[in-house]
Chains A and B, each alone.
Chain A
Amino acid sequence: MARILVVEDDPQVRRMLRFTLMRAGHDVTEAADGAEGLRRCAEAAPDLVITDIIMPEVEGLETVKRLHDERPELPVIAISGGGQVAPQGYLDLARKLGAREAFTKPVDRDALLDAVRRLLTEARA
């Protein structure tokens, strides 16, 4: 049981992630872009953040970086649908910027939930 912030600009994906995480027993806060994500993170003090990489406003990679700068202990999972113009190397970069895990969309549900569980356990340890 944890508070999870989902930063995702695609409303359907955001909604689907919320349902999926809620069923796994988590509280979910949503944000439609990076700027909102950073605000909500400050307000809601989530235990874990799942963020898309390509989003309007504050771009996903910057979101990861700022989150990591502000709360280095906060586990962040980056997910990406692949590059719009440039290659998909964003996930690697997200890892380098502080994301603990990175997944390509569509993300396997079990893999995602496993990663969430593992990162929360690590964070509490």
Chain B
Amino acid sequence: MDEREIRILVVEDEAAHVALLRRAFERHPGRTRLDVASSLRAARQHIAEAPPDLVLADLRLPDGRGLELLLAGGGAAAWPLILMTGYGDEQVAVAALKAGALDYVVKSAESLAAMPRLAARVLREWGHLQQRRRAEAALRASEERLRRVMEDLPLLIDAFDEQNRPIFWNRECERVTGYTAEEMIGNQDGLNLLYPDPDERARRVAQWRHVGGYRDGEWIITCKDGGRRAIAWSSITVDLPGSGASTWHAGLDVTERRRAAAERAHLVAAIEHANDIIFITDPGGSIRYVNPAFARLTGYGREELIGTGPDFFPWQPPAGLPIPELIGRLAAGESWQGRCSGRARNGAFTVECSAAPVRGEDGHVTNIVLVARDVTRVDALEARLRQAEKLEAIGTLAGGIAHDFNNILYAIVGFTELVMDDVPADSRAMANLEQVCEAGRRATELVRRILTFSRGSEQAKRALALQPLVAEVLALLRGSLPPAVEIRQRIDPDCGPVWGDAGRLHQVIMNLCTNAFQAMPGGAGRMEVILAETTVDAALAEQAPDLSPGPHALLVITDDGLGMDTATRERIFEPYFTTKDPGAGTGLGLATVHGAVRDHGGAILVESEPGRGSRFAVYLPLHSQPAAAVDPAREEV
């Protein structure tokens, strides 16, 4: 037996019975202390002061019945009670046991003498009972905890039985779907509410049928308000003995995340497909992202650029603003807009930029975003337009000057001829006057060419095959150029005719070929003349505003001579612009070519680099092409 003293409270108003009990416990081994209370009141006081291990209570006491002690404890007394009754009270015993007494005895000398054994047994039983109660309480507490956790977790947790009826529905399920547990638990239609589409529902349920293992998947559920939400579910089916198979789900509402991802995907797609250049750097200017438009413009792959600085390729913000300083200003929170030019793998480019810092949640600059529009072609077009306008203006001016000039020349030549009538034919004066007339003729020729340039010539256009024209020029050139000049030709015999003035086009070819020869250092080199039919597409037409899309004759004259720098190339068609020594050329050759080509509805494109020769490409609309080349108003004149 355990060494602890067993405290027994005897609630008995009959001293004789108390004495019997004392005697019995004294004889019994084990340390036992008997306290006696002779009334309910005394017993209650005693219990309150020192809770006993066991109470032996008489049924009939002066101030009530012994069982009332149990009632005071709310049916869950902290101690066992054995009820002692007199004869004739047996019927009370059943009520006593129901009330929570562990046993009862009918008082007699024998039964009271045997009380210690009974007490020991009851105490053992009570010990077991208490143990079981504690275990049950612990289990209840554990279950409650589990239930609370499942109810309150920020996850949708639900469960369905074998008939697909909801058997568990936590608060997050209620919050997200709008359906309460009351509406759902046991509801045969619960599943239909969530998955109104029968096919979708069937697919969903098909996953539930096999036991064991987690199944993950994202499903769209329909909420009470008709809204649809994307839930990432993880499900498991468990087959518990007795309760049958049930399928449990833990779900995370990913609707917002999906929406954000979709938004982000749209944004990324937009940026990726934008024609504008977009790149993102860190505050130090190191490139973090470039879009494909950037790669297209510069010719650098994304992987080449990520991580490099913005000066990876040379480019130039406007004067006086070095890249590091620009980056510094952006990183400090300034925005910037401006035009930048640069040179990358794909050649020179000009972009219209707008750069701004991106701030993180804490307000610090986390990135710099630069958006730029490629204006290289716009720039080139503007330059060409300016050039065309300039030529137009010069042509107009030349026309006006030519008129007055012809009058002056006429006066000079006419009066000179009058003087010549008066001087002896073989005199020095006559010889000198003839020089005046000769100078007059040269001046006349010059004016004629100015007028030709300014569209001043008589129109003599007809359907004209270019092949014989090219052949004639080449024959002339062969006879006059040094043998060190190699002339190659590729003439397409099938190239169609143009609507043209043979004389002027002859001059175009001649001038271009002569120029090609004159560009050859030391009078030696290679010249190539190509005639082919080609189609001017929209892109080319955009590049050369004088051209309309359609079939054209393409005449290309290439030399491997000195070439030109950009500044020269931009001015070669201006009248009186010449790179030749003073007196060596009029500076009208290419201006005349330009005027003639333009007058034929064509255009001339030049490619050249210093030391790498030049390529003049003349586009003339084919005659089969209606109208474009022919201005009927002018033809009428």
Contacts and interface: CB of A to CB of B under 8 A. Distances in A.
A88 B399 CA distance: 9
B400 A84 contact: yes
Nearest to B402: A82
B459 interface: yes
Contact of A82 (B406, B412, B417, B637): B406
Given A10-B407, A23-B421, A81-B406, A92 B414 contact: no
A1 to B, nearest CB: 18
A107 B455 contact: no
A105 B407 CA distance: 7
A104 B414 contact: no
B637 A93 contact: yes
A107 B410 contact: yes
A20 interface: yes
Nearest to A53: B403
B418 A19 contact: yes
A54 interface: yes
Interface size class on chain B is 20 to 34
Contact of B414 (A85, A89, A106): A106
A106 B414 CA distance: 8
B402 A89 contact: no
A16 interface: yes
Contacts of B399: 82-87
Q: Most chain-A Cβ atoms within 10 A of its Cβ — which of B396, B409, B456?
A: B456
Contacts, number: 85
A109 interface: yes
Nearest to A109: B417
A42 interface: no
Given A23-B421, A84-B400, A85-B400, A16 B456 contact: no
Interface in A64-84: 81-84
A4 to B, nearest CB: 15
A4 B231 CA distance: 107
A121 interface: no
Nearest to A9: B407
Contacts of B327: none
Interface string A81-116: 111111111011100000000001111010000000
Contacts of A105: 406-407, 409-410
Interface string B159-183: 0000000000000000000000000
B413 interface: yes
B304 interface: no
Interface string A3-32: 000000010110011011001000000000
B406 A89 contact: no
Interface in B397-443: 399-400, 402-415, 417-418, 421, 440
B458 interface: yes
B451 interface: yes
B108 interface: no
A91 B456 CA distance: 11
A89 B637 contact: yes
Contacts of B405: 81
B458 A92 contact: yes
Contact of B637 (A23, A81, A92): A92
B417 to A, nearest CB: 5
A17 B410 CA distance: 9
B164 to A, nearest CB: 92
Contact of A16 (B396, B414, B440, B458): B414
Nearest to B396: A85
Q: Most chain-A Cβ atoms within 10 A of its Cβ — which of B402, B406, B408?
A: B406
Contact of A17 (B414, B456, B634): B414
Interface string B206-220: 000000000000000
A54 B414 contact: no
B566 interface: no
A19 B420 CA distance: 13
Given A13-B410, A89-B459, A81 B403 contact: yes
A54 B440 CA distance: 21
Contact of B411 (A10, A91, A93): A10
Interface string A29-46: 000000000000000000
B407 A12 contact: yes
Contacts of A93: 637
A82 B418 contact: no
Nearest to A93: B637
B637 A87 contact: yes
Contact of B418 (A20, A85, A106): A20
A113 B350 CA distance: 63
B448 to A, nearest CB: 8
Given A81-B402, A82-B451, A13 B637 contact: no
A106 B437 CA distance: 11
Contacts of A86: 399
B456 A83 contact: yes
Contacts of B403: 54, 81-84
Contacts of A109: 414, 417
A81 B398 CA distance: 12
Contacts of A84: 399-400, 403
Contacts of A13: 407, 410-411, 414
A100 to B, nearest CB: 18
B593 interface: no
B634 A89 contact: yes
A105 B404 CA distance: 10
B501 to A, nearest CB: 12
Q: Most chain-A Cβ atoms within 10 A of its Cβ — which of B402, B410, B637?
A: B410
Given A81-B402, A82-B406, A106-B410, A20 B456 contact: no
Nearest to B441: A106
Nearest to B459: A89
B444 interface: yes
Interface string B445-474: 001000100111111000000000000000
Q: Most chain-B Cβ atoms within 10 A of its Cβ — which of A23, A93, A105, A107?
A: A105
Contacts of B637: 87, 89, 92-93
Contacts of B458: 88-89, 91-92
A81 B400 contact: no
Q: Most chain-A Cβ atoms within 10 A of its Cβ — which of B403, B405, B455, B457?
A: B403
Contacts of B407: 10, 12-13, 81, 105
17 contacts: A13-B411, A19-B415, A23-B418, A82-B403, A82-B456, A84-B399, A87-B399, A87-B457, A87-B637, A88-B456, A89-B459, A89-B634, A92-B637, A104-B406, A105-B406, A105-B410, A106-B412
Given A104-B406, A106-B444, 4 more contacts: A12-B411, A81-B407, A84-B399, A88-B456
A-B CB proximity, top 7 nearest: A81-B406, A89-B637, A16-B414, A106-B410, A12-B411, A105-B406, A81-B403
